């Protein structure tokens, strides 16, 4: 039985994790950590800060708060030899360095998306990358998401770039000759792989990786219709992480 505290437990993702993880036979959610009181504690106790929690009462911290919260959780987990599973995105280089430093003292698993389907779509895209001359990514999220592009789309783009480089392919050139409206071609995530971000109410998390070649196209689409789609991936990470010093990026290796 893994005993879990969820940082950001009052947020949409935190509440989904508390409900989903708490329903599993081998996971016990013992605490929800947030500056705001959660709407539903799902049988766990509520604390405003990890510093209010006795480390002996839990095994793993799951953090879906924000970059600043992740740094605080990483330091706490490193000090108290507790595993850390990070779901928050948007960390800058200094914040990421803090997490990496913590991983030298305890186990840390980070992923931009804990959906099993998203992890598999990234794997499929890396497989396809060497066979198509062009590729672009469209990511679509709810209008409350604060960062763009999504961490998932950046991870997918980097996997595609790496696969193309391993295959000896050149960076993608830009076919557009005249821009009537600047910025309409999206952002370059590296080697010309473009990401286009959509933010609309009613969406949750969706992504299309679109490959094009002579006479054909391949679209790899993944849809998360509910935040419950992330529970199984987080559960894999919770089961896998330990206090042994290690940093794991993504859940792909947990699917093997």
User: Could you tell me which of 116, 166, 121, 161 has the C-alpha nearest to residue 139?
Assistant: 121
Reference 69, options 33, 107, 110, 114; nearest CA is 33
Catalytic residue among 36, 37, 145, 222: 145
Is 145 catalytic? The answer is: yes
Q: Beta strand 45-47 with 27-33: parallel, antiparallel or unpaired?
A: parallel
In angstroms, the CA 245 to CA 64 distance is 21
37 part of the active site: no
Distances, alpha carbon 134 to alpha carbons 119, 130, 241, in Å:
21, 10, 37
Using the structure block, give the residue that is written with the tokens 């990511």.
Answer: 139
Which of 2, 141, 196, 206 is catalytic? The answer is 141
Tokens of 235: 């559960």
65 close to 8: Cβ distance less than 8 angstroms: yes
- Active-site positions read 141, 145
């Amino acid at each position: 039985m893994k005993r879990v505290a969820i940082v950001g437990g009052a947020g949409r993702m935190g509440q989904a994790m508390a409900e989903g993880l708490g329903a599993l036979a081998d996971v016990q959610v013992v605490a929800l950590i947030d500056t705001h009181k959660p709407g539903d504690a799902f049988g766990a106790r509520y604390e405003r800060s990890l510093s209010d929690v006795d480390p002996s009462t839990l095994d793993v911290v799951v953090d879906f708060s924000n970059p600043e919260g992740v740094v605080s959780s990483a330091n706490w987990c490193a000090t108290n030899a507790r595993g850390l599973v990070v779901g928050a995105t948007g960390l800058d280089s200094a914040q990421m360095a803090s997490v990496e430093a913590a991983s030298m003292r305890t186990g840390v698993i980070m992923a931009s998306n804990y959906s099993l389907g998203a992890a598999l779509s990234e794997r499929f895209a890396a497989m396809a990358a060497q066979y198509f001359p062009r590729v672009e990514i469209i990511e679509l999220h709810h209008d409350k998401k604060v960062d763009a592009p999504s961490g998932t789309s950046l991870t997918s783009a980097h996997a595609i770039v790496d696969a193309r480089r391993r295959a000896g392919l050149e960076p993608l050139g830009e076919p557009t000759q005249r821009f009537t409206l600047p910025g309409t071609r999206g952002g370059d995530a590296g080697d010309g792989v473009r990401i286009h971000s959509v933010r609309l109410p009613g969406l949750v998390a969706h992504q299309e990786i679109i490959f094009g070649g002579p006479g054909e196209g391949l679209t790899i689409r993944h849809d998360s219709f509910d935040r419950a789609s992330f529970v199984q991936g987080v559960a894999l990470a919770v089961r896998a992480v330990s206090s042994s010093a290690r940093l794991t990026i993504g859940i792909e290796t947990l699917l093997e």
